[in-house]
Amino acid sequence: MLQIKELTASVGDKEILKGINLNVNPGEIHAIMGPNGSGKSTLSNVLAGRENVTVTGGSLLWHDKNLLDMEIEERAREGIFLAFQYPVEIPGVGNVYLLKAALNAQRQHRGLPELDAMDFLALVKEKMKLMEMNESMLYRAVNEGFSGGEKKRNEILQMAVLEPELAILDETDSGLDIDALKIVSNGVNSLRSPTRSMILVTHYQRLLDYIKPDFVHVLAGGRIVRSGGPELAHELERDGYAWIAESGAYGVGL
Amino acid sequence: MNPYLEQCQVERQKRQTDPVDSADQQRRALEWQRFDECGWPNTRLEKWKYTSLSSLEKLALPTALVRDPGFVMGSQDFLRADGLVISWVDGQIDLENSSISELPAGVEILFWSTMTPDERDKFAQLLVQSRRLSALGALNGALLSEGVWIRVSPGACLEVPVFLIHQTSQSCAMHLAVVVEMAVQSQLTICERWMSTRDQPTHVNLVTAFHLAEYAQLTWIKAQQGGNGSYHTAGLWAALLGHAQLRLYPFGLAGSLVRHDIQVLLQQPRAECTIRGVYRVCDREMQDFHTSVEHLAPHCTSDECFKGVLDGSGKAVFNGQVRVALDAQKTQSQLANHNLLLSEKAEINTKPELEIFADDVRCSHGTTVGQLDENQWFYLRSRGIEMETARHLLVHAFTREISDAIPHAGIRDVMNQWLGDDCYGA
């Protein structure tokens, strides 16, 4: 359902992605690993439609539709969800307001009626239990004053409420202690389904102990330099990323 | 003499033939003379450097004596909250739509049009400093058409707010005055709303005076919602005695040109003043806030924050002055002004002015001018929220901090709703 072909993209004058090829089918979990600066976050941002990234070549298809023609919000309504590496604080906008507006925007897009306040709250409270979040967080401003772990849990809560077809988890494990990592992973695992795919972007193999991927790709120098099964992650954990530089696959300038 | 002033002359002569008391005529003559000496404000004056009245000058606006027969009262959103309502149309008290026939104990409301000569004299005295804030104050003194005087007795605490709701039915000029006298330990909330009909030039020239005795508490909220062609100039002067508390919430939401001169005097120890304001401008709109807080005694506190949202070719001026007199030791004062520019054509001129003569004080000030946060915008859109809605949400969130500070829940809700109202080109 997601087809990435020879995708190149730059931020400012700098070319970051230099020809990415990746196919994601329903129900599959793909892990994208790589050293810092390899283009992992840029790839996440391209999929979500962030405007500071310019696509310079290649194609991005979502259910055979050109993703590049879609606005940021349209992609979200079409079922693509990005869990941010650094969730943004928005003082003055309530968490519950955002969840409701987001869910209703999506429902409207699908031709469904808006959820009434009672049903909506029941749904959110159920998902909050799963994320072991206190209900009081609903009535706080979006991510404002949340700890690192709370922010990441809040991301997965949004994902649980919106039930996307494709979730991109950008470094969701970064900054989490082991307890928070377990809660977040449980949340993500509970959302696994034969129709839902995920792309896990991570630097470390640790997250993959909790969320088992079907495929692991190594991104380096703006290209996918190796793909394999879950065992590849363990290999990376053991050998690090240094071999990429040695093999010359790291790209120019590194 | 410009067309506006020529019409003022006509109005002045009309009043001279009115059978009224001679003391009043004398006061008006003196105020007109004072106005003549000050002159019509122009951009060569420091206080009017960025705010030009040249478009108002061209308008010959008469005083309206009879309301337009086709006039329909505007929405009365505030009236969902319980309160005493003073309704005005075209600068005249509209008793039919007011609810002040039965006043709670401890409050008295007088109207200029029905005051005795003695009361008018006292009323004018209470407005002396308010009328000195700008030349337009002198003009107000010469041409005053109606006023309201609210007196609250010692220890009286009004549970419900007093609403002053002003509407216009036609093109006209109005010179109005409000005086609030708060006796020792009294408490009151006043909420003003100023509306005007669309696309008809109007000018409200208002002076206000708040006199707070020891331990008095006054909360004042003002929503300025003028239409295209509305001019609003207002001078507000307040004096606080020991331990008095004044909270001001001015919201400049719409209007062709809106100018506020606000001066607060903290005259005795432990007086406190809080100001939380918003100005918001779209295409061809202008808002100007000149504020001045004077710490004249030790141990007083002032806390002022204005937020501005500027869109289209809108323009705003914020000039925040804080003066701390030599013997006003242990003063605590904060002044902040934050601006959100939504278009390349929008303009803000902001200036904090601190003059501190005492040496043991805590005074801070800060000003920012910024744009919408791209990260926040992207975040909202990535959750499926439409671009314009996301922008609107963020703008509302920016000003919400101010409206959330309004202590009265009913008024706060209405203000939040108005701030959410679209003025941002959706």
Question: Which of B375, B386, B397 is the closest to A93 by Cβ?
Answer: B397
With both helix axes pointing from N to C terminus, report the angle between A117-130 and A95-109 in degrees, rounded to the nearest 10. Answer: 110
**Confidence at A123, pLDDT banded by 50, 70, 90:** very high
* Element of type H or E holding A154: helix A148-162
- Chain B's closest residue to A78, CA to CA, is B384
- B389 at the A interface (CB within 8 A)? yes
CB B51 within 8 A of CB B259: yes
Partners of residue B374 in chain A, C-beta under 8 Å: 51-52
**CA A10 from chain center: how many Å?**
20
% of chain B with per-residue pLDDT over 90: 83
pLDDT of residue A245: 64
CB of A254 within 8 Å of a chain B CB? The answer is: no
Residue A253 has pLDDT above 90, yes or no: no
Distance from CA of B386 to the nearest CA of A (A): 6
- Which tens digits make up the pLDDT trace of A78-122? 999 999 999 999 998 999 999 999 999 999 999 999 999 899 999
Q: Do A73 and B379 touch (CB under 8 A)?
A: no
pLDDT for A173-215, tens place per residue? 988 999 999 999 999 999 999 999 999 999 888 899 999 999 9
8 Å CB contact of A93 and B385: no
pLDDT the model gives residue B78: 60
Best B373, B375, B382 member to test A by mutation, with max A CBs in 10 Å, is: B382
Q: What is the pLDDT of residue B77?
A: 60
Nearest to A1 by CA among A65, A87, A75: A65
Cβ atoms A167, A191 nearer than 8 A: yes
Q: Is A72 on the interface with B (CB under 8 A)?
A: yes
SS (H, E, C) B302-339: EEEEEEEEECCCCEEEEEEEEEECCCCCCCEEEEEEEE
Option in B373, B384, B397 nearest A102 (CB): B384
Q: From CA B235, how far away is CA B258, in angstroms rounded?
A: 11
pLDDT in tens, B351-382: 999 999 999 999 999 999 999 999 999 999 99
> Does the CB of A88 have a partner CB in chain B at under 8 Å?
yes
Q: What is the predicted ipTM?
A: 0.94
- Reading the block at residue B333, the tokens are 């004062």
Token representation of residue B385: 């929220």
Kindly state whether B378 is in contact with chain A, defined as any CB-CB distance less than 8 angstroms.
yes
- In chain A, which residues have their Cβ closer than 8 Å to the Cβ of B393? 93, 101
Name B426's Cβ contacts closer than 8 Å, sequence gap at least 6. B388, B389, B392
Q: Chain A: residue nearest B401 by CA?
A: A92
**CA–CA dist B341, B24 (Å, integer):** 47
Instruction: Please name the member of B373, B374, B383 whose beta carbon is closest to the beta carbon of A158.
Output: B383
Chosen for mutation from B374, B381, B391 (greatest number of chain A CBs closer than 10 Å) is B381
Question: What pLDDT, in 10s, does the model give residues A45-58?
Answer: 999 999 999 999 99
* Cβ-based neighbour number of residue A92 at 10 Å: 19
* Measured CA distances, B125 to A162, B47, B141, B150 (Å): 64, 25, 11, 15
Q: Are A185 and A155 in contact (CB under 8 A)?
A: no
The rounded percent of chain B whose pLDDT value lies above 70 is 96
Question: Is A91 in Cβ contact with B383 (below 8 Å)?
Answer: no
Q: What angle do CA B109, B114, B115 make, to 5 degrees?
A: 75
A119 and chain B: CB distance < 8 Å anywhere?
no
The confidence band for B75, taking pLDDT boundaries of 50, 70 and 90, is low
pLDDT of res. A36: 85
Give the tokens for residue B335: 């002044």
Query: Strand, helix or coil at B104?
Result: coil
Does the beta carbon of B385 lie under 8 angstroms from any beta carbon of chain A? yes
CA distances from B260 to A13, A18, B193 (A): 48, 58, 15
% pLDDT > 70, chain A: 96
Predicted pLDDT of residue A243:
76
Q: Which of B353, B239, B364 minimizes the C-alpha distance to B297?
A: B239
**Residues in Cβ contact with A97 at an 8 Å cutoff, skipping those fewer than 6 apart:** none
**In the structure, what pLDDT confidence band is assigned to residue B128 with cuts at 50, 70 and 90?**
very high
CA angle B366/B369/B373 to nearest 5° reads 120
With contacts defined as CB-CB under 8 Å, which chain B residues touch A158? 383
- Judged by CB atoms closer than 8 Å, whether chains meet at A158 and B378 is answered as no
Q: Give the whole-angstrom CA distance, residue A39 versus residue A30.
A: 16
Say yes or no: A87 contacts chain B, CB-CB below 8 A: yes
CA pseudo-torsion sign B334, B189, B265, B185: negative
With H, G, I as helix, E, B as strand and everything else as coil, classify residue A223. strand
Q: Quick one: pLDDT at residue B217? A: 98
Closest-CA residue of B relative to A47 is B382
* B315-324, strands of its sheet edge to edge: B107-111, B146-152, B172-182, B202-212, B230-240, B257-266, B286-295, B315-324, B347-356
CB contact under 8 A, B380 and A50: no
Whether the per-residue pLDDT at A250 is higher than 60: the answer is no
Does A236 score more than 90 pLDDT?
Answer: no
Tell me the pLDDT band of A248, cut-offs 50, 70 and 90.
Answer: low
State pTM to two decimals.
Answer: 0.88
Q: Tens of pLDDT along B287-326?
A: 999 999 999 999 999 999 999 999 999 999 999 999 999 9
3-state secondary structure of A151: helix
C-alpha torsion sign, points A40, A43, A47, A53? positive
For the cut 50, the answer to whether the pLDDT of residue B425 exceeds it is no
Q: Mean of the per-residue pLDDT values for chain B?
A: 93
- Residues near A16 by Cβ (< 8 Å), separated by ≥ 6? A9, A10, A39, A42, A53, A222
Q: Walk across the sheet containing B245-254 and list its strands.
A: B92-93, B84-89, B162-167, B187-195, B217-225, B245-254, B272-281, B301-310, B332-341, B362-370
* Burial track B73-108 (b if 16+ CB lie within 10 A, e otherwise): eeeebbbebebbbbbbbbbbbbeebbebeeeeebbe
Which pLDDT band holds residue B424 (cuts at 50, 70, 90)?
very low
What residues of A are in contact with residue B382 (Cβ under 8 Å)?
48-49, 72-73, 75-76, 81-82, 84
When CB atoms are compared, the residue of B378, B384, B398 closest to A77 is: B384
Question: Could you give phi then psi for residue B351, rounded to 5 degrees?
Answer: -150, 115
Asked if residue B221 has pLDDT above 70, the reply is yes
CB B173 within 8 A of CB B142: no
Is it the case that residue B16 has pLDDT exceeding 80? no
Q: Testing the interface with B: which of A72, A89, A162 to mutate, by most B Cβ within 10 A?
A: A72
What count of Cα atoms within 13 Å lies in the side-chain half-sphere of residue B95? 7
User: Given this model, what pLDDT does residue B422 score?
Assistant: 46
Q: Which stretch of A18-32, B188-202, B320-334 has the lowest confidence by average pLDDT?
A: B188-202
The per-residue pLDDT for B149 is 98
Query: Which residues have C-beta within 8 Å of that of residue B154, sequence separation ≥ 6?
Result: B183, B184, B185, B186, B213
B220 pLDDT band, cuts 50/70/90, is: very high
**Which of A75, A93, A158 is nearest residue B393 as measured by Cβ atoms?**
A93
Nearest CA distance, B18 vs chain A (angstrom): 54
Contact A93 B394 (CB under 8 A): yes
Question: Looking at residue B268, what is its pLDDT?
Answer: 98
DSSP per-residue codes, B249-268: EEEEEE-SEEEEEEEEEE-S
CA distance A232 to chain B (A): 31
Number of A–B residue contacts, CB under 8 Å: 75
B402 touches chain A (CB under 8 A): no
Confidence of residue B31 (pLDDT cuts 50, 70, 90): very high
Please say if the pLDDT value at position B18 is more than 90.
no
Per-residue 3-state assignment (H helix, E strand, C coil) for A13-54: CEEEEEEEEEEECCCCEEEEECCCCCCHHHHHHHHHCCCCEE
Question: What is the residue-averaged pLDDT of chain A?
Answer: 91
CA distance B149 to B112: 8
